[in-house]
Structure 1
Amino acid sequence: MRKRITSAIVFSLAAAIGLSLAGQLWVSSETADRRRFSQLADDAVDRVDAKLASYLSLLYATRAFLAADGPGISAETFERFISGLDLAERHDGIQGIGFAATIPAAAAPSVADELSARYGRTVEIWPPTTDQPVRTPIILLEPQDQRNQVALGYDMYSDPVRRQAMDAAATTGRPAASGPVRLVQEIDENRQFGFLIYLPVAAGDASAASVVSPPAEPGFVYAPLRIGDFLEAALFQKPQPAIHVEVFDGEAKPENLILASREPLLPEIAHFAVERELDVAGRQLLFRLSPTENFERLGSNYPAALLAIFVLVLAIVLALLSLVQSRRLEAVAALNEASERNLAQKDMLLREMNHRIKNSIARMLSIARQTARRAESLEDFTARYSARLQAMAAAQEMLTRSRWGSAQIGALLSAELTQVFGEDEESCRLQGPEVEVDETVSQALGLTFHELATNAMKYGALSSPEGMLVVEWRLDGKDLVIDWQEQGGQAPDLSVERAGFGTRLIDMTIRGELGGSIERRAGEGRLAILIRFPFAERGKPQPVPGSRL
């Protein structure tokens, strides 16, 4: 669990640092493009402002012309002047330049007659009636194309939107723009909103602030502009900016929208949109400018995305390396633990070997003494003693082989007793069914039988000639039970029995290795040892690590 937590911490830290760098790269790229588009929007609004300035210069020039020659000039003279301005080629976007005279409302019929005579066709002052004391019919308008011909005679002061702008111009003596209107020139299907810019021919005094009157104001030079054509001329000439334009009369509300260009937006960076206000002859227009599909981003999200992917891959690699390193450290720790365990096992084996050697020497001395007591001559002693030593060697060989495979308990017990007692088995009786045990059990029981037999020979019943050993074994349910009984001789006092290496080895083998129990009982000339351990799960031979099946 700890190594997983460490790997998770490494991954989190690496990913957090890398993604932070990727985020900063993305933000810097976004910021650079946003600033570039903001500059592009400012340039676009500056174009509009410059175009308006050029239109105002035309109105000032026309006012100077009329102030010099008087508003009563002929239509031909006015036409020559406007033609010299070359509106179509040099000032596209403006519909024309005209003059609206300020007349009393009652003078409308006589002015209509003058207009009809001037233009050689019937020109009426319209609308026919008005609730205002004065009227401002259009008496001059060039160029005289089909659209502008319709506007002649129109009383602009009769319209509240136009009247507000004309009053503002008369009051301030400066150009004033009207609100969005439908121009009277809109006679075809491609209709647009428009606005008009008025410039008084003579500046008004304080008495003319609320009502335009002929003595104070002879009239207004004005220019009608279609908003769509105007912005097309101001913005969408080469080089054409990659912007989408929405124009609002005042606040950015749907009801105030007067124009939206047709260029498709780029949704991914719609948040780049900016708003700019522009003063159009005293009227505030709001421009909302957004990037279109033609906007080329100098920055790109790909480097940030690639950096993020690289960082995540690097974080995964670092986490895996951390995990591998943790596992390697665990393997080293496990190896050290195994080494310590092997050293402990080797120490145990050395102690066991020392113990067995000492027991073997003791057995050989005991066999020599017993053989000597019964031998009739030196040759008889030598033959008997040699035979017993050979029997011990054969039993040792059989026990050695049993450690690498299965063995019968009876054969294992007989071999071990023969190794201890030699050929003298008259004092031993073995009884039990054929039970085959695996190598683990055979090794454990071999050690146990060896220690018990050695103790019986040294200290138990078999240390005296009249002693007797009875060993019985049986299966009791899922357990294997071995009953070791020594009869005759002096029984040991278990309350003061010394717990030597042999006793500890037996307890460690039965209880620790086989998971069983061992019980010792002593009486008059009798010692009983009952061994019990689970056997059902050991029915099949279990492989020993490093052995071959």
Structure 2
Amino acid sequence: MPPHTTDPAALSAQLEESAHLLELAVEAADLGLWWLSLEADTLKGSPRCRRIIGFPSEAPLSYRQWLAMLHPDDRDENHRLVQAAFDPAGDGGYRTAYRLLRPDGQVIWIAAMGQVEFAGEGAARRGLQLVGTFRDITAARQDEEARALLTRELSHRIKNIFAVVTSMVSLSARDYPEAKPYARELRERIDALSRAHDYVRPHVTEDGASGGATTTVQGLLDELLAPYRATGPDRIRIRCTEAAIGERSATALALIVHEQATNAVKYGALAVPEGMVRIDGTRDGDTYRLRWREEGGPPIERAPDRQGFGTVLAARSARDQLGGAIAYEWAATGLVIAIDLPVETLES
């Protein structure tokens, strides 16, 4: 920092040097500086700012002229954000992204942020000007839109694959009655994977933005087990601590949960009207612990003599795909299943 001085010539030189350094930093960051005064109805910008918006003249724009340059779909929201920033009761912050129509007809995406300078205190507090930066993010937005388009196309193709495989299984079993039970179970597994895919796929809007909420363990289980609640919402009670779940982990967990629900319907608590299942999920440090407890079902005399294919599949999914473990306790009052999964893997 330059030493303090009271010499006018030295002060002038220091100010020029500071302005020059600021200009270099802004240029290096590819930012445009701007100043907006609602009282004076003017928007002024640095040379880079004017180049970004395609307005070469150094003459200031009026606020109304600037709003007219914004895309019609973004105009009202931006006006609201500016008014909110100038609100004396607020913190003066302004941050947004919008489309701008350049005079040459090009539509660009702008990321803008700024801070209102206030004067006065209490009831006399008022906003003087909004000072901020522009950045052209058109290329980044185009990349996002291209990825969103690819994601939608892949998701559509995956759904088609699920449908084709399900149809092939049904057609193949048509001429072999003895294979129909196995075909039905396979279709149910595929349907579980399909529902998991639908849940974790981001709902991408046409402009490439993600409109879906964060996918969670609770939400996935609610989605997967909804068909089993048809006979009564209290047949399956799910209470899970909030934990995000990623696309890859969701498909593996969907298989595990589907196998347990299917077995509960065939042999366990859901096989009788008074039976129920409780599912609890808690986070314990770096481990997420799921507990499946069956109550009110047929008494259990002992553990099964052998493991079925579904049980083996669930164990392999927990171990190989999720990096966790699954354990069974064959209590006389009902089956208890412990599923322990690394949080880091769960979110992937």
What range is the shorter-chain TM-score in? 0.3 to 0.5
The answer to which structure has the higher helix fraction is: 1
The answer to which structure has the higher strand fraction is: 2
Q: Which structure has the higher relative contact order (CA within 8 Å, separation 6+)?
A: 1
Q: TM-score, normalised by structure 2?
A: 0.41
